[in-house]
Amino acid sequence: MHNIAVIGAGRIGRIHASNAKTDPRIDLKYVVDPIASSADDLASSTGAKVAGLGEVLADPDVSGVVVASSTDTHLEFSVAATAAGKAVFCEKPIDLDLSKARAAATALGSDDARLFLGFNRRFDHNFRQLRDRIHSGEMGALETLHIISHDPSPPPIDYVRVSGGMFKDMTIHDFDMARWLLGEDPVEVYAAATSVVDPAIGEAGDVDTAKILLRTQSGKICVISNSRRSGYGYDQRIEAFCAKGLLRAGNVLSSTVEVWGEFGSQTDALQNFFLDRYAGAYRSEMSHFADILDGATPAVGYQDGISALAIAEAAMESHLGSKAVAIRY
Amino acid sequence: MHNIAVIGAGRIGRIHASNAKTDPRIDLKYVVDPIASSADDLASSTGAKVAGLGEVLADPDVSGVVVASSTDTHLEFSVAATAAGKAVFCEKPIDLDLSKARAAATALGSDDARLFLGFNRRFDHNFRQLRDRIHSGEMGALETLHIISHDPSPPPIDYVRVSGGMFKDMTIHDFDMARWLLGEDPVEVYAAATSVVDPAIGEAGDVDTAKILLRTQSGKICVISNSRRSGYGYDQRIEAFCAKGLLRAGNVLSSTVEVWGEFGSQTDALQNFFLDRYAGAYRSEMSHFADILDGATPAVGYQDGISALAIAEAAMESHLGSKAVAIRY
Amino acid sequence: MHNIAVIGAGRIGRIHASNAKTDPRIDLKYVVDPIASSADDLASSTGAKVAGLGEVLADPDVSGVVVASSTDTHLEFSVAATAAGKAVFCEKPIDLDLSKARAAATALGSDDARLFLGFNRRFDHNFRQLRDRIHSGEMGALETLHIISHDPSPPPIDYVRVSGGMFKDMTIHDFDMARWLLGEDPVEVYAAATSVVDPAIGEAGDVDTAKILLRTQSGKICVISNSRRSGYGYDQRIEAFCAKGLLRAGNVLSSTVEVWGEFGSQTDALQNFFLDRYAGAYRSEMSHFADILDGATPAVGYQDGISALAIAEAAMESHLGSKAVAIRY
Amino acid sequence: MHNIAVIGAGRIGRIHASNAKTDPRIDLKYVVDPIASSADDLASSTGAKVAGLGEVLADPDVSGVVVASSTDTHLEFSVAATAAGKAVFCEKPIDLDLSKARAAATALGSDDARLFLGFNRRFDHNFRQLRDRIHSGEMGALETLHIISHDPSPPPIDYVRVSGGMFKDMTIHDFDMARWLLGEDPVEVYAAATSVVDPAIGEAGDVDTAKILLRTQSGKICVISNSRRSGYGYDQRIEAFCAKGLLRAGNVLSSTVEVWGEFGSQTDALQNFFLDRYAGAYRSEMSHFADILDGATPAVGYQDGISALAIAEAAMESHLGSKAVAIRY
């Protein structure tokens, strides 16, 4: 059993704490949060102790730390935990500032560092199955890729203002999926984006709707479609056009119940919330963290975080300049 | 080109006349109907002549006759046309009275007779594809069969009263489908039926809802589900459970358009009317009649009509006696 | 927290023990099994103690007992645990012998007894959603019901021989679903059954394929389709034909991945194993057992077990006598 | 009845001739083709006369002309027929040369001219239903649009060489669909294209795979996906993302038959050939031509042809220059 600590007792921290509690290889020893009541609540519901970050990092019985605190602390806490010899499971994004994130290369990109960056969609069993089948070659070489990623409804405008913008906050997942499925890094991006969902988002200088084209060195083309609001639930679909046919992963419905009436047939609603849609993915992430604590190499690491962020910055540059932009990793 | 006549200028007669007009091997020469205005309308819209049955049967240029008149005349007109040496395309059912229908065996069941009985579903390309794949053996031997056949809404009660009852009027199609797909005759029937759609149907001594079990000599079991009213369109589905898996044919939708909203996703409506659902089947029937006029053997004949009727009578006996009944062909 | 014991460390006992361990309101205190190695294994993986039944029933700290032992002990252990004042979560069927099960009415059917019979399908979220929507009346009154329940592949013949026959072993689930969804007890059954999956099953006096018709007092009709082998995974579908339309629950697929090729489009495989298909249902059962330990009334109890068994016996009588049989509760 | 002539007895000319023959308002009087055997064959199978273009245009009984000859003659024959006072049903594209097509504005764009340009997809009942529902506003304002249009397999390289390039030959349909569904003209295009299907296509200076972004004045964004080869049939899908949800039109399958096996469930193949997929659309086009001959205004005309061609030229410029290009209509 590996003792771990969860830093951050907010929504995503509570998910990781709960998964840590039920993972057979992990014991949740500490919970850290500057808001005492949040830390206390999570500690009491999980049987963990409340502690400060210093205490956690100094405890030789703690072998891993989950960084689920606010985005602006991801980098700092990951560096500190790595320096203390802990394996780190850090939520995405690694940071909102690419140059700052690059500056941590020595600390986090070294061979000794064990940083696992939580791009949760790689751990969804549907997308994993899709990737396995793309890579099996059963349908021939992958040629083009469509990623549809539309949220049910936009976040509060206060969140939007500190989010770093849609590309770094939301599309970052899709940039990572693109890299993971394409099997190579995009070299150029063209982004057409707008704000039609909520005028306040546009006034805040952000976009809420985008279609993004990525091109790789070998000539593969990827389309990403984003919207902050779908009107029909959490739309998470991927289509991989291969030389011999199409592989695709579809949405997850709330149940298999259908109703047939005069209108036709109607399915149940799409799962509407990312914590439901990716509940299994979050459990699998924790299981992978247990693998890392057992000695495995992180499946997603520092360089993946840098690469996704680099694409996001280039996409913003493309959007602002209305031109294709070469991506600098 | 083969000259034919259509007897009966009602709904189904007009369909056959229209298909005759566009079939490249057939010329529609005559239309026959005791209601002069109906005959005139159909003749003028198709370029055919109005005539009496005697004139038609006496015309040596007429090689085929379509009997689309009222059910009580099917047998008489088919016998007369056969006696005149014409090929006959007769609408189902062959008659409502099994013993009367049996009595025509010499006239209609002989080697010389060319009677094609219009069980239209055999000519639907979906069911034909289903049958071909069952018979190909790709999924192993057929073991059990489910036929779902629910009408959008019940016929007028005046029609119900002269229909011969649901089993002979509606289920007769399903009995024929069962024989065609099972590849052997059922030997026993058990029918559970009721009237829940319209009290007037029950008061008229008929049923509007039924689940029917058929068993064949070799042990295959078939379930037929019938309702005079679905609430969601014309439900025409078949599932064939085979040793290695399932083959099924589904419903036909009005279009491929879907809408996704908060409720989930919704297809367009099921095709709601048998003349739409089986438009292609009716054209294929006319093409098969052209084959017969060219010398082919009818794919569905007198004995098929007798067999379906015999099952219908046994089903009624089962329903009335609440017991399984052996079918006497 | 409620202390419970699990009796039986076989496949289903291990599921319940695992769910007890992760349920936030339950502590698994004891594991009981006559095979010491099985008991030891389960105890060590769950942190429970191995004990004998007497010790468990004598322990005042134990408030509930899960009976997951072999079928012939269900009744005896449930009676003993009830007598000791424990709440009981007993696996289906309650017994293979209806008269023996009836004889336990005083012990298990009393107001004091808290017997929860584990008809797991009632706890599947898809079927629960289906039932809620049937009962909401949104599509009008339920008229007829189709339950398709086909296993992926037949059990070992040694199991078949002691199973009590397909109706009591497998269809018992569907009889319970029928009662639950119809909202009333069937009064008559007609069963058409055969053995085509495995000759050894027929030689053992059992059937492996059946179509069963149930009728209720108010005139609702239910069709149950059973096969011990589907060839395509675990087929668990229900269609509820209502006055205004159809409500249905479909199968669960292994993933949302599809492949499109020359053949058409292909989904991923159906979930193939009941422990996968009903993993969530088993967790919900344990949660409901916690509700009972908190004071709730069992959602499925002794009389439900008797009723399902009574239908199964009548179905067998119908099959053997080839006639409809009135069900005696 | 309106007498018409079909110019061109190739594949598409034969379709239009066949539809003219069965349309109740149209008589096919003449067939024109420089290859005598082709003209003779089509004339004999349709009962039309073979004639030269001059004879056809001079015949006052001819009220309409279908121009289904080779692309380089579309403009010339349309102008000549218009000058002769005939209504014209011209196949797409109007020409491969935008400036040449623009030069015909006086002749073809005048109020007197009755030019119907055959963008067949507008007449597909699925896409028409999609458009009606977008325009009904039931799902709120259209925001973004995805058009997927992949051919089953690439044309012969000899055809590719004279096709005018994929954008003018194939994407032209999608540009027209985009305009029709968006309800406004795109103002900017960015095209990412490549040749991966067949090296010979790339060597011929053409592309076979493209993802194209269009933006309208009001800010709507449209993605078009093209491939000359799908591996899975004729992929013709459209998704319209609206403020309240999604409207989409899917592919058409060869039948409703499905097979379920160990792999999962499998549909029948997608319709594989555009003449099958759009058979109904071609019939509807001919019916619309009859409307025009009865006095209606063409639903698609000269300016639509110019606009689609202008987008195609801008897309090519974008592809060659790797930059977004403003569209000049």
User: Is residue A272 over pLDDT 90?
Assistant: no
Which chain C residue's Cα is nearest to D269? C264
List chain B residues with CB under 8 Å of D130. Answer: 255, 257
Taken in order D156, D161, D165, D170, the sign of the CA dihedral is negative
Q: What are the angstrom distances between the C-alpha of B208 and each of B154, B159, C81, C143? A: 8, 13, 51, 11
Q: Best mutation site among B150, B223, B267 for testing chain C: the one with the most C CBs within 10 Å?
A: B223
The tens digit of pLDDT for each residue in B73-98 reads: 999 999 999 999 999 999 999 999 99
Residues of D with CB below 8 A from A218's CB?
none
In this structure, what DSSP letter does residue A231 have? S
Alpha helices (runs of H) in B138-267, residue ranges in sequence order: 157-162, 166, 172-182, 199-203
* Model ipTM value: 0.96
Nearest to D182, CA basis, from D280, D326, D283, D311: D311
Whether A143 shows a pLDDT value over 90: the answer reads yes
Cβ neighbours of C150 in B, within 8 Å: 241
Q: Which of B319, B175, B187, B173 is nearest to B234 (CA)?
A: B173
Nearest to A130 among C139, C250, C257 (CB): C257
CB atoms within 10 A of CB D150: 22
Q: Which residues of chain B lie closer than 8 angstroms to D129, CB-CB?
A: 254-255, 257, 268
DSSP C201-225: HHHTT--SEEEEEEEETT--EEEEE
CB spacing of B267 vs A264 below 8 angstroms: yes
Q: What's the CATH class of domain C122-326? A: alpha beta
CB A213 within 8 A of CB D184: no
Concatenate the DSSP letters of all residues of D109-130 into one string: SSSS--EEEE-GGGG-HHHHHH
pLDDT of B292:
98
8 Å CB contact between A298 and A114: yes
Residues from chain A contacting residue D323 (CB–CB below 8 Å)? 323-324
Residues C193-204: what's their mean pLDDT? Answer: 96
Give me B114's structure tokens.
């060319």
**Residue C272 scores a pLDDT above 90:** no
Class of residue B176 by CB neighbours under 10 A (exposed 0-12, middle 13-18, buried 19+) = buried
Alpha helices in A25-124 (DSSP H): 36-46, 53-58, 71-83, 98-103, 105-108
Q: What is the DSSP string of C7-67?
A: E--SHHHHHHHHHHHH-TTEEEEEEE-SSHHHHHHHHHHHTPEE--HHHHHH-TTEEEEEE
Task: Give the model's confidence band at D192: pLDDT under 50 very low, under 70 low, under 90 confident, else very high.
Answer: very high
- Give the helix/strand (H/E) hosting D31: strand D26-32
Q: Which residues from D are below 8 Å from C268, CB to CB? A: 264
Tell me how far apart the alpha carbons of residues A106 and B279 are, in angstroms, rounded to a whole number: 72
D257 close contact with B: CB closer than 8 A: yes
Length of chain B: 329
What count of other Cβ atoms lies within 10 Å of the Cβ of residue D195?
20
C329 vs B1, C188, C307, D17, D251, CA distance in Å?
Answer: 69, 11, 6, 72, 52
Confidence of residue D121 (pLDDT cuts 50, 70, 90): very high
pLDDT, residue C273, reads 83
| The predicted structure's pLDDT at residue B315 | 98
pLDDT at A133: 98
Average pLDDT over residues D258-266: 97
Chain A to chain C Cβ contacts (< 8 Å): 83
Closest Cβ–Cβ partner in B139, B213, B245 for C211: B213
Q: Is B253 in CB contact (< 8 Å) with chain A?
A: yes
- Which residues, listed in sequence order, are joined to residue B249 by a DSSP beta bridge? B238, D257
Q: Which fold has domain D122-280+301-326?
A: Dihydrodipicolinate Reductase; domain 2 (3.30.360)
Chain C partners of A130 at a C-beta cutoff of 8 Å? 255, 257
Task: Confirm whether D2-113 and D122-280+301-326 share one CATH topology.
Answer: no
- The predicted-structure confidence for D106-118, as pLDDT tens digits, reads as follows 999 998 899 999 9
Longest dimension (CA), chain A: 66
Q: Is there a contact between A221 and D235 if contact means CB atoms under 8 Å apart? A: no
Residues 41-60 of A with CB under 8 A from B: none
Which of B230, B264, B270 is nearest residue A266 as measured by Cβ atoms?
A: B264
Instruction: Determine what percent of chain C is predicted with pLDDT higher than 90.
Output: 96
Evaluate if residue C132 carries a pLDDT over 90. yes
Asked whether the predicted pLDDT for residue D255 surpasses 90, the reply is yes
Of the candidates A214, A243, A204, the residue with the CA atom closest to the CA atom of residue A318: A214
C261 interfacial to chain A (CB closer than 8 Å)? yes
Q: What is the pLDDT of residue D273?
A: 83
Q: Residue B22: its pLDDT value, please?
A: 87
- pLDDT tens digit string along D127-161? 999 999 999 999 999 999 999 999 999 999 999 99
Assigned superfamily of B122-273+302-326: Dihydrodipicolinate Reductase; domain 2 (3.30.360.10)
Q: How confident is the model at residue C85 (pLDDT cuts 50, 70, 90)?
A: very high
Contact criterion met (CB below 8 Å) for C116 and C300: yes
- Provide CATH code, domain A122-278+301-326: 3.30.360.10
The mean pLDDT value for C275-281 works out to 93
Interchain CB contact of D295 with B (< 8 Å) = no
Angstrom distance (rounded) from CA D230 to CA D235:
7
- Residue spans of the domains in chain B: they are 2-113, 122-273+302-326
Q: How far is C289 from chain D (nearest CA, A)?
A: 35
According to the model, what pLDDT value does residue D249 have? 98
Question: What angle separates helix B172-182 from helix B125-136, to the nearest 10 degrees?
Answer: 30
Pairing relationship of beta strands D115-118 and A186-194 according to DSSP bridges? unpaired
Proportion of chain B above pLDDT 90, given as a percent: 96
Residues with Cβ within 8 Å of residue B26, at least 6 apart in sequence: B1, B2, B4, B20, B64, B286, B289, B290, B293
Pairing of strands C264-267, C257-261: antiparallel
Residue D240 — very low, low, confident or very high, per pLDDT cuts 50/70/90? very high
pLDDT at position A137 over 90: yes
Confidence grade of residue A22 (pLDDT, cut at 50, 70, 90) = confident
Lowest-pLDDT range, A301-305, D17-21, D271-275?
D271-275
Q: What percentage of residues in chain B have a pLDDT greater than 70?
A: 100
Name the amino acid, one letter, at D210. A
Between chains, do D255 and B139 touch, taking CB under 8 Å as contact?
no
A324 shares contact with chain D (CB less than 8 Å): yes
Percentage of chain A exceeding pLDDT 70: 100
Looking at the predicted structure, is the pLDDT value of residue D22 above 90? no
Q: CB contacts < 8 Å between B and C, how many?
A: 88
So what's the pLDDT on residue A56?
98
What's the CA gap between D323 and D155, in Å, rounded?
Answer: 28
For residue A198, name the pLDDT band (cuts at 50, 70, 90).
Answer: very high
Looking at residues D73-88, what average pLDDT do you find? 98
DSSP-derived 3-state class of residue B62: strand
- Whether the link from the prior residue into B93 is cis, omega within 30° of 0, is yes
Distance, CA of D318 to CA of A54 (rounded, Å): 56
CATH of C2-113, one of 3.30.450.20, 2.30.40.10, 3.40.50.720, 2.170.120.12: 3.40.50.720
Question: Which chain B residues touch D244 with a CB distance below 8 Å?
Answer: 261
User: Which helix (H) or strand (E) segment is D264 a member of?
Assistant: strand D264-267
Residue A171 C-alpha, separation from nearest chain D C-alpha, in angstroms: 17
- pLDDT of B198 > 90? The answer is yes
Average pLDDT (A262-274) is 93
Q: What is the pLDDT of residue B261?
A: 97
**In angstroms, what separates the C-alpha of D91 from chain C's closest C-alpha?**
30
Whose tokens are 């700290």? That residue is C61
SS3 labels along A245-267: EEEEECCCECCCEEEEECCEEEE
Determine the residue among D19, D244, D256 to mutate to test chain B binding: the one whose Cβ has the most chain B Cβ atoms within 10 Å. Answer: D256
Confidence (pLDDT) at D111: 85
**Which residues from chain C sit within 8 angstroms of residue D231, using beta carbons?**
261-262
Question: What's the one-letter identity of residue A299?
Answer: A
Mapping DSSP onto H, E and C, the string for A139-174 reads CCCEEEEEEEEECCCCCCHHHHHHCCCHHHHHHHHH
